[in-house]
Structure 1
Amino acid sequence: MNSLEQVQQAELALLEIFSVIDTQVKHNLKRVLDAFRNHRVGTHHFAGVSGYGHDDLGRETLDKVFAEVMGAQAAAVRVQFVSGTHAIACALFGVLRPGDEMLAVVGSPYDTLEEVIGLRGNGQGSLIEFGINYRQLELTLDGTVDWQALSTSVADNTRLVLIQRSCGYSWRPSLSIADIEKIIHLVKQQNPKTVCFVDNCYGEFIETREPTAVGADLMAGSLIKNPGGTIVNAGGYVAGRADLVEAAACRLTAPGIGSYGGATFDQNRLLFQGLFLAPQMVGEAMKGTYLTGYIFDKLGYAVNPAPFAPRGDVIQAIKLGSAEKLIAFCKVIQQHSPIGSYLDPVPDEMPGYESQVVMAGGTFIEGSTLEFSADGPLREPYVVYCQGGTHWTHVAIALEAAIKAVGEA
């Protein structure tokens, strides 16, 4: 069977799942449309203000629309967040104080958070350098939350529990909304005052509810991932309890200014439109992950999630087993990207990452991971992480070439 036939076979096998995804897209889009309607969004909201950014009606309305969509009390959607990591860091520094403890309950955090916490690097003002204690619960041998340990792990000084929704660069299932709801329930049973914070990167619109709709006190994410709908130029968000959102905003700007400042640089239309497009774009990306998982499972590779397993984010991981295959895979994805198809990805150091990383990212927005991309750290067991895809058909075209490039396991 040639690569085209293999992709066509996968498409036929996944027709029912694709139909279920379309139904979910419709549900999530209705959620967005209702919020736009409820807050009477009009073209006058596209105008921005300059300077300090005071009294920006578009920004204030977008915050309200975003909060409603996410099932949160409040939100701060800002182009001043340079990444999801920046939004998360603002949330953590906004909530935590010297002597507090942060407990990570899903094993090791994503690479870029290690220096924020203070697990790597020094002298840059990490949480640990500010006297905040850090502890983490390891995953079970099968890569799932250790529910038994979690049920007795929250201490009196555990101010915040970090819940990383996506698998990141670890080989584990990404969390479902049901998993997150269960974690929150167990934490609150032990200490109702502990803030349940969710790193929601890659997870928005994957299901029909968000973490803040099931009890999360605060969450953060990136606008060049899911909620930007592939067209937002930059930014991130925090959403949740109003006082905690404001605390995070005070770390982004300054105490006393918080969420009330920050020019939007004429980006309001894109921010609204990106949110409107997001459910559809996430649906296409999910189809792409199913297609990728199905095909590479058939080729004999270990894949995460499994071919027909429910998705927790827009990431599909493939254990390729060698640096050569990892680089070859990324090279082919780059060649089938709309931007920079003539470039060859080369492993290199990346700010915030522990290992060298090879990245295929021929995207219209630099670093956008809701657009189709692939990357992986150059370390055992050489896993490639495929993300996003504005059209599942684009993913299918690239996969035909990827099959030829890496062959069977």
Structure 2
Amino acid sequence: MTLDNNLKLAENAVLSVEESLSKVFQERSNQVFQKLENILTIFKEEKVSTSHFNQSSGSGHDDISREKIDAVFARLFLAEKAAVRMQFVSGTHAISSVLFGILRPGDVMLSLTGQPYDTLEEVIGIRGVGKGSLKDFDIEYKQVNICENFDSFEEKIVHFFKENSCKLVFIQKSCGYSWRKSLTNHQIEKICSLIHSLDPNCICFVDNCYGELVEDSEPISKGANIIAGSLIKNLGGTIVPTGGYVAGDAELVEMACSRLTSPGIGSSAGINFGLGRLILQGLFLAPQIVHESLKGADMVAAVFKNLGFKVLPEPATYRSDLIQSVRLNNPYLVQKVCQSFQNSSPVDSFLNVVPSSMDGYDSKLLMAGGTFIEGSTSEFSADAPLRDPYNIFVQGGSNIAHIKIALIRLLSELLQEKLISKDSLLPLST
């Protein structure tokens, strides 16, 4: 079969998937209106102006750009306070600042969503003890996994609180590198309500990475006390070059900022290096980018499901974050898919994707991320830890056309290597 024929077959397959998703695509496009209207209202009422693009220097005391951006994000999240800082190098750093800022020796932290994302393992002390983890400071870590069967979440939480005291519960909204559904904000509301009924002083902390602007609400309005995330994910609109945020109860945000800077300085310092315009413009663009990513996730799910692979979530179902998981069950296929997506990237498309160690991760990773912002998962990317059952996690995408192009090229290559069949586009038995 010629390459041209492969491309035609692949294009027809992807266009057929797109047509089958037309209704949900329209619904996702309609959701942009409400979210953008809300952001425009916030910008107007907060009187955002070009003066908030100005750059300060030094410690940044009384920096009007930083203060305005914090106010805008607090309004967006319906929070008492927000801190948006370029000094947060990642979402993990923002989360770590919250944990170290709030928890004290002897406190108990409970993860309700099982073992957290890999990069938090050394923060907590699950591995890498002796480097300044929570465990090194005598903060006790416990976990239960209410996601195994959410219908029984109340029983697990009530049982834990009968036997234990707890300063902070950690809720990872996104699936991370696990094979589970990401939590919805409605589910988070149920969790926070139960926790606060059992102990009104227990702090509900939500890792909001990948979830911002996906649903019609955010976790603070559903009972979370504090949330954290990254600006090179949803809220950066693919143009913010770094940074993260924390938002929630004013006292808790200040405690997190005191860890980021120092006690006595807290949130009252920190310049944004002249990036005020990009931060605000990124937020303005974010609703559109997020919903392009959601449409892309539906398309990825449908294409791989048609190829016979397990996918989570299913195409055209309710989504609470940007991540699309695909179970490939084969390390060669993982590398093949990542390499193909890398080849369709706008940046570094010529690089070979090879398994690599990465700081904060236990397993070697394959990462396809030819993005304008290094590590930006609001742009189209895919990554996979090289461990059984060889799941791949696809996220982001500033334009559905880019994702279509990448999928068409991938299917063509799989046909060329006879990894899928010509007639049915289903995996061949081996």
Identify whether the pair has TM-score above 0.5, normalized to the shorter chain. yes
2:404 is matched with which residue? 396
Q: Give the Å deviation of 1:145.
A: 7.1
Cα offset, 1:403, TM superposition: 2.2
Counterpart position of 1:85? 92
Q: Does 1:19 align with 2:16?
A: no
Question: For the Cα contact (< 8 Å) 2:147–2:180, is it kept in 1?
Answer: no
From 319, 325, 331, the equivalent of 1:311 is 319
Aligned counterpart, 2:42: 35
Structure 2 distance, partners of 1:169, 1:25, is 28
Q: Is the 8 A contact 1:201 1:221 kept in 2?
A: yes
Q: CA deviation at 1:144?
A: 7.7
- Tell me, in whole angstroms, the C-alpha distance in 2 between the residues paired with 1:360 and 1:20: 29
CA distance in 2: counterparts of 1:116 and 1:299, whole angstroms: 39
2:326 is the alignment partner of 1:347 = no
Aligned to 2:294: 286
Segment of structure 1 superposing worse, 140-149 or 224-233: 140-149
Contact 2:84–2:244 under 8 Å retained in 1: yes
Q: CA deviation at 1:263?
A: 1.5
- Asked if 1 retains the 8 angstrom alpha-carbon contact of 2:85 and 2:245, the reply is yes
Does the 8 A contact of 1:144 with 1:172 survive in 2? no
Counterpart in 1 of 2:253?
Answer: 245
The aligned counterpart of 1:185 is 193
Is 1:323–2:323 an aligned residue pair? no
TM-align CA RMSD = 1.4
Query: Which residue of structure 1 aligns with residue 376 of structure 2?
Result: 368
Structure 2 counterpart of 1:221: 229
Q: How far 1:186 sits from its partner (Å)?
A: 1.2
Cα gap change, 1:397 to 1:144, in 2 (>3 Å): farther
Corresponding residue for residue 113 of structure 2: 106
Q: Report the Cα distance in structure 2 between the residues aligned to 1:175 and 1:154, rounded to whole angstroms.
A: 21
Contact 2:129/2:135, CA 8 A, preserved across alignment? no
Q: Deviations over 1:101-146 (max 9, x none)?
A: 1110011100000000000112111011111111111246568873
Alignment partner of 1:129 is 2:123: no
3-state SS in 2 of match to 1:317:
strand
- Partners of 2:113 and 2:147 within 8 A in 1: no
Amino acid at match of 2:129: N
Contact 1:143 1:171 (C-alpha < 8 Å) held by counterparts: no
Would you say the 8 A contact 2:146–2:156 is kept in 1? no
Cα distance in 2 between the residues matched to 1:4 and 1:193: 56
Amino acid at match of 1:264: N
Structure 1 distance, partners of 2:126, 2:235, is: 29
Higher Cα radius of gyration: 2
Tell me the matched-pair count: 409
Report the Cα distance in structure 2 between the residues aligned to 1:210 and 1:288, rounded to whole angstroms: 22
Q: Secondary structure at the match of 1:146?
A: helix
C-alpha contact 1:173 1:304 (8 A) present in aligned 2: yes
Structure 1 equivalent of residue 310 of structure 2: 302
Superposition deviation, residue 402 in structure 1: 2.0
Displacement, 1:404?
3.4
Cα distance between partner residues in 1 of 2:396 and 2:148? 28
Hey, what's the Cα distance between the residues in 1 that align with 2:362 and 2:33?
A: 40
Deviations 1:247-274 (A, max 9, x none): 0000000000000111211111111111
**1:154-180 deviation per Cα after TM superposition (whole angstroms, max 9, x unaligned):** 366301000000000000000111011
Q: Structure 1 CA distance, aligned partners of 2:260 and 2:249?
A: 17
Amino acid at match of 2:295: K
> How much does 1:200 deviate?
0.3
Cα distance in 1 for residues equivalent to 2:29 and 2:326:
25
What is the Cα deviation at residue 14 of structure 1? 0.8
Letter in 1 for 2:405: I
The correspondence for 1:68, drawn from 75, 79, 84, is: 75
Aligned to 1:377: 385
The Cα offsets for residues 368-407 of structure 1, whole Å up to 9 and x where unpaired, read as 0000000000000111100100001110110112223443
- Where 1:2 maps in the other structure, the secondary structure is helix
Question: Is the contact between residue 152 and residue 190 of structure 1 (CA under 8 Å) also seen in structure 2?
Answer: no
Cα 1:342–1:269 shift into 2, 3 Å = same
- AA aligned to 2:121 is E
Where does structure 1 lack aligned partners over 5 or more consecutive residues?
none
C-alpha distance in structure 1 between counterparts of 2:90 and 2:413, whole Å = 32
Runs of at least 4 residues of structure 1 off by over 4 A? 139-145
Distance 1:28 1:145 in 2: 33
Match of 2:55 among 31, 48, 54: 48
Letter in 1 for 2:206: V
Query: What is the identity percentage for the equivalent residue pairs of Structure 1 and Structure 2?
Result: 49
What is the DSSP-based 3-state SS (H/G/I as helix, E as strand, rest coil) of the residue aligned with 2:16?
Answer: helix
Aligned match for 2:278, one of 251, 265, 270? 270
Give the Cα–Cα distance (whole angstroms) in 1 for the partners of residues 181 and 165 of structure 2. 29
User: Per-residue CA shift, 1:216-273, capped at 9, x if unaligned?
Assistant: 1000000000011100010000000011000000000000000011121111111111
CA distance in 1 between partners of 2:195 and 2:148 (Å): 22
Q: Which residue of 2 aligns with 1:151?
A: 158
Q: Does 1:387 align with 2:395?
A: yes
Question: How far has the Cα of 1:70 moved from its partner?
Answer: 1.0
Residues 298 and 143 of structure 1, relative CA distance in 2, 3 Å threshold: farther
SS at structure 2 position matched to 1:333 = helix
**More moved, 305-314 vs 145-154:** 145-154
